[in-house]
Amino acid sequence: ANVTYSIQVYDYKLSTIKVLDLEPRNTTFFDIMETAQKEDNRFRFTYKNYRPFGAFITSIGGVVQDTSKQLVWMFYKCNKNVDPAVFNGVKGCKLSDTGVSDTYPKDGDIYLFHYEHHPWNKTMNQL
C-alpha cells in the first residue's frame, strides 16, 4: 500500500514522504508516523496520550504547538487529486474524522498535518 504523509507549517517548505509496503488494515496512521520519523528527521514528533482518544500530536519536525497563541497541529485527510508536492494549505482536504491512533489508511490515501491557528475553549490549554 502507498500512503502519503505531508506536513505544512504556514508558508514554509512542504515536506512529503511516501511509506510503501504497509498492511493498511492493521496499520494506524500513528504507525506510519513512527516509520516516517525513523526515515526522515523532518517527521520526528512528540505526543501526549489521552485515553480513550489516543495520541494527541504536540510537535512535528521540531515545531511545537503553542497553546498560548492557539497554534496546533491539525490532522487532515486530502482528496486523491491533491498534489502533496504543492503547498496550498488545506485546500482539497478536510479534518480527519478520527485521530492518528484510530485512522487506518488505505492504499493511495493522502494525509496532511497542518500547523495552524485553531481557537478552542479553556480546557484545550491543558493539552
Q: Is residue 34 a contact partner of residue 17, using CB atoms and an 8 Å limit?
A: no
The angle at the Cα of 77, spanning 97 to 13, to the nearest 5 degrees, equals: 135
Look up the CATH number of the domain holding residue 121. 2.170.130.30
Q: Average pLDDT per run of 10 along the chain, which is 127 residues long?
A: 78 59 76 90 92 91 90 92 76 93 90 86 53
Q: Is residue 115 a contact partner of residue 10, using CB atoms and an 8 Å limit?
A: yes
Q: Is the pTM of this model over 0.85?
A: no
pLDDT on residue 79: 92
For 108, counting Cβ atoms within 10 Å of its Cβ (0-12 exposed, 13-18 middle, 19+ buried), the class is exposed
Provide the domain count of the chain: 1
Which cell is 13 given? Answer: 517548505
Q: Which domain holds residue 45?
A: 3-126
pLDDT on residue 76: 94
